[in-house]
Amino acid sequence: MIIITGGAGFIGSNLVSAINQQSGDDILVVDNLTNTAKIANLADCTIADYRDKNDFYQNIIDLEKIPGLEAVLHQGACSDTMVTDGRYVMHNNYQYSKALLDYCQHFKVPYIYASSASVYGAGKDFREYPECECPLNAYAYSKLAFDQHVRARKESLTIPVVGLRYFNVYGPREQHKGRMASVAYHFYKQFNKDGKVRLFEGSDGYQHGEQLRDFVSVEDVVNVNQFFLNNPQLSGIYNLGTGNCQSFNEVAQAVVNYFQTKNGHESLTLEGIQDQALIEYIAFPDNLKGKYQSYTQADMSQLKSAGYDQPFLTVEQGVDRYLSWLDK
């Protein structure tokens, strides 16, 4: 059996679906379904069991053994970067992760968990080293705190432990996330409704829509998780992006051209899209100033050294596949 925490969420449900397709349905999903929109993510999946997040936390504390447990994929977290209740974020993202690590160590079970590229803050060097890390909000700090806990226990751990620092993930099964869903999803919804997309104006020295992020498809995120699941001899903290940054304008262009092709029209250049007012640039929000990553680009050296050599989807490839899925 494999436990997937956050299994009804974005990345978790994609992992459930992929495991269903490749190896079966012996999966225990742990999640909080207060937001019932997440149920749709599991509607086409098959699982062996479900447990509420809080109930499962008590199982962890009580060291309740799960028969036949092979691995834990810990995807559950409060991922809202604007949450200001630090106590809640630290319990949910840090204490829960620590308790689950202790559980896995006790029962000798491999542990793969979701970290975040947010730990790098506004830095320009995205390598998995302490000198590159400077979180800008409670969410980012909670993720870094657990990475630091794992580092401190490295010599005493006798199980494989892998932390994956997700960059900007987009793709199927994220519709429940509301404002925290990817820009690709929001651009799709905006163009469907208004015939144009909205981007932030320039910030931190970047021109309108030219802020740069490492956008990674959830398909690639699933593939990397499965790589570590299939290679339990590996441990460490790894970046999970594409290694190439692209602008928000490029994401917008991919979305607009998806609709252009869908409607039998030729693809447009960014200048053509701007000339036709298919992009609207809006004021940069005050509440994000000083808390926003205007540039991210994963250094993929560690992941490549671990043996992962599969190509990653570009924004143009990944967004087209994603929007086709949304249109089903």
List the structure tokens of 210: 């030219």
Q: State the number of CA atoms in the 13 A half-sphere of 45 facing the CB.
A: 29
| Backbone phi, psi, residue 273, to 5° | -65, -45
Among 53, 98, 177, 196, which one carries the catalytic annotation? Answer: 177
Q: How far apart are CA 72 and CA 95, in angstroms?
A: 16
**Adjacent-strand bridge partners of 115:** 165
Q: In this structure, what token pair is assigned to residue 202?
A: 């320039």
Residue 94 is among the residues annotated as catalytic for this protein: no
Residue 256 CB neighbour total at 10 angstroms: 23
CA-CA distance, 215 to 248, in Å (whole number)?
9
Which has the closest alpha carbon to 144: 123, 122, 116? 116
User: What gap in Å lies between CA 154 and CA 235, rounded to an integer?
Assistant: 9
d(CA 273, CA 271): 5
Helix (H) or strand (E) holding 283: none
**In the annotation, is 188 catalytic?**
no
List residues bridging with 112 in a β-sheet. Answer: 73, 162
Catalytic residue from among 57, 120, 139, 185 = 139
Can you tell me the distance from the alpha carbon of 287 to that of 81, in angstroms, rounded to the nearest whole number?
Answer: 11
Classify each residue of 277-286 as buried b or exposed e, where b means 16 or more C-beta atoms within 10 Å of its C-beta: ebbeeeebee
Please state the length of the chain.
Answer: 328
Q: Give the residue numbers annotated as catalytic, written as ranges.
A: 139, 177
